[in-house]
Amino acid sequence: MSLDHESFVASHVKDLPRSGIRDFFAVVSEMPQAISLGIGEPDFVTPWHVREAAIFALEKGRTSYTDNRGLLLLRREISKYVADFFGPEYDPANEILATVGVSEAIDVALRAILNPGDKVLYHEPCYVSYAPSVTLALGEAIPVGTKPEDEFALDPAAFEAAWEPGCKALLLNFPTNPTGGTADREKLERLARFAIDKNLLVISDEIYGELTYEGEHVGIASLPGMKERTLLLHGFSKAFAMTGFRIGYACGPAVLIEAMMKVHQYCMMCAPILSQEAAIEALLNGGDEVARMKEQYHRRRDFIVRRFNEIGLSCHSPRGSFYAFPSIRSTGLSDTDFAHRLLREAEVAVVPGTAFGEHGASHVRASFSTSYENLVEATDRIARFRDDIVTEDAASV
């Protein structure tokens, strides 16, 4: 009799749904000739001076473990950068933890603060890992929808309405993957009052903060009374085009950072030293490259949003991130059917909105982190695809 391997899988892992993106990836990977607007990372290669710093560190034999919290020089530079960009000042000695990307920071933060059954409010559509990370930390994730009519911006009233006893934390991501939604100061202030009133901790993933195209990025930790109840998570993947380095960080109150560090030291030991060295170089000398890439994303955003609206796929202008999130409701197709047919019939890959939660229904995520040539060709193909659908519908009437 063969061993029942399924019986060894923990029930809370068994019950986790497969990522919708993973399913779609399997289909796309069979069509290498397709133009992909499904990529959730910069199309730019990491700036050379950053790569060169990693090579130099390797040549120098810097291949050891580091302090669990990360190199002190890195934490000092993070402290300066965060104070300059986000506002609050964090002590490099005990209020900053270098992590293996923001993904690890989210995981470690949730495992550090949640007791079994604690509830976490998060907005949806959102990055695919939030709810599963809460579940894996034995908490209960409660989705709070953001709305197309609000351009998927933060909706404090929806958070207030969703609150229930047992809520311990809010998990935020503005600008948001996949919608490009942002949170303005006024709404954040209302949410901050709610967090203080209900004694909630805020976990704020601000990985797209630099890629804010209209207005300034406001971090919730910069608001009065919020630094002490916020874990600010950030990293180098997006603005610095360093996804493969897997380097991020958490800033927060010393007691919470120490709790996160306990989890981090047992599961990860430390972030890779070469990535830490590269991150130091990025912080010291990467500003111009970040500005150059942001300028290009900004122009591409204007292009793709204009094209989607011309095509008849209503699309708000995302204020941040590098994703457009057009509605495909006018086609009469579900977002999953739209994405699968678009791939098969027009050879363009976009990600169905429901891969980011049920609130993403009737939308698709189209990344503009690709060349103009690809964007021009992809949107032309999408236009023809939509025309074909409209013609089909007319013929069937």
Which residues of the shown chain bind another protein in the complex (CB under 8 A)?
19, 21, 24-25, 28-29, 32, 34, 36, 38-41, 45, 127-129, 177, 296, 299, 302-303, 306, 349, 351, 355, 372, 376
User: Which residue, 200 or 348, has its beta carbon nearer to another protein?
Assistant: 348
Is residue 295 a contact partner of residue 262, using CB atoms and an 8 Å limit?
no
Q: Tokens 């493969």 map to which residue?
A: 244
Rama region for 89: left / alpha / beta (φ>0; ψ in -120 to 50; rest)? beta
User: Which residue, 149 or 373, has its beta carbon nearer to another protein?
Assistant: 373
**Cβ at position 306, least distance to another protein in Å:** 5
**Cβ at position 65, least distance to another protein in Å:** 27
**Cβ at position 145, least distance to another protein in Å:** 19
* Cα–Cα distance measured from residue 249 to residue 235, given in angstroms and rounded to the nearest whole number: 6
User: Which residue, 38 or 286, has its beta carbon nearer to another protein?
Assistant: 38
* Cα–Cα distance measured from residue 375 to residue 28, given in angstroms and rounded to the nearest whole number: 17
**Cβ at position 284, least distance to another protein in Å:** 23
Triad 371, 177, 210: Cα angle to 5°: 75
**Cβ at position 296, least distance to another protein in Å:** 7
**Cβ at position 355, least distance to another protein in Å:** 8
User: Which residue, 265 or 336, has its beta carbon nearer to another protein?
Assistant: 336
What burial class does residue 7 get, using C-beta atoms within 10 Å of its C-beta: 0-12 exposed, 13-18 middle, 19+ buried? exposed
* Cα–Cα distance measured from residue 304 to residue 326, given in angstroms and rounded to the nearest whole number: 10
User: Which residue, 112 or 339, has its beta carbon nearer to another protein?
Assistant: 339
What burial class does residue 266 get, using C-beta atoms within 10 Å of its C-beta: 0-12 exposed, 13-18 middle, 19+ buried? exposed
User: Which residue, 37 or 263, has its beta carbon nearer to another protein?
Assistant: 37
